Amino acid sequence: MTLSPPLQKTAWIVLAVLSIVIGLYPALYFLVDMSAGLLSTKSSTLLANPVWNAGFYSHIFFGGITLLTGWVQFSKKLRDKNLKLHRRIGKVYVAAALISALSGIYIGVYATGGVVSSAGFMSLGIIWFFTTLQAYRYARAADVERHQKMMRFSYAACFAAVTLRLWMPFLIMATGDFVRAYQVVAWLCWVPNIAFVFLSQGSSKITAS
């Protein structure tokens, strides 16, 4: 079932607002002390590891860039009126996504919650990297339809940063335990996103008119 134009516009606005808000969230790690959050679950040895820190901050910094730039690419007006700008923003998104995905795979090895969380986040990173790279290749080959389809999967994976933060409060209340909630959200933050795009391909599309 295809969404009506008003619903398409509403969906795009919600997508944009959530992407901007969560896209700016990584800035907090550079501006204020965030040690009471997720970092409090990490060992002092890991927090002192320069390689892990490089991976972690690369992941959140470039991940923020993908959220801030990716939603713009769903604007049909931008694509139709300024294709060059669309391509330039797309290149920024692709570069940032590939870096964030690779660093996400690395830090996923050390994810809070052990092997369950690690498997979930590493799988997300692999899917994000693959779909983004494929979308770029299709764009270079001028295969617009496949490029658009693969980019929707890429941004669905990227949007896991948003859905993770939407799910976590409810999961913590339901489980009463942060670690258990984190194990669940490692999968819940992205599997439904990918499933939604898979089921909606060829029918409803989130685009701005």
| CA-angle at 62, arms to 57 and 64, nearest 5° | 100
Query: Looking at residue 206, what is its pLDDT?
Result: 47
pLDDT at 180: 96
Residue-level pLDDT at 79: 83
Cβ atoms of 95 and 67 within 8 Å: the answer is: no
Q: Is 204 left (phi over 0), alpha (psi -120 to 50) or beta?
A: beta
The residue extents of the domains of the chain are 5-200
* Per-residue pLDDT tens over the stretch 92-127: 999 999 999 999 999 999 999 999 999 999 999 999
Output the CA angle 147-153-155, nearest 5 degrees: 100
Q: Which has the closest alpha carbon to 121: 192, 193, 52, 186?
A: 186
pTM of structure = 0.89
| Res 128: pLDDT | 98
Residues of the chain with pLDDT under 50: 1, 203-209
Look at residue 208 and give its three-state secondary structure. strand
pLDDT value of position 204: 46
User: Cα 7 vs. chain centroid, distance in angstroms?
Assistant: 23
d(C-alpha 199, C-alpha 184), whole Å: 22
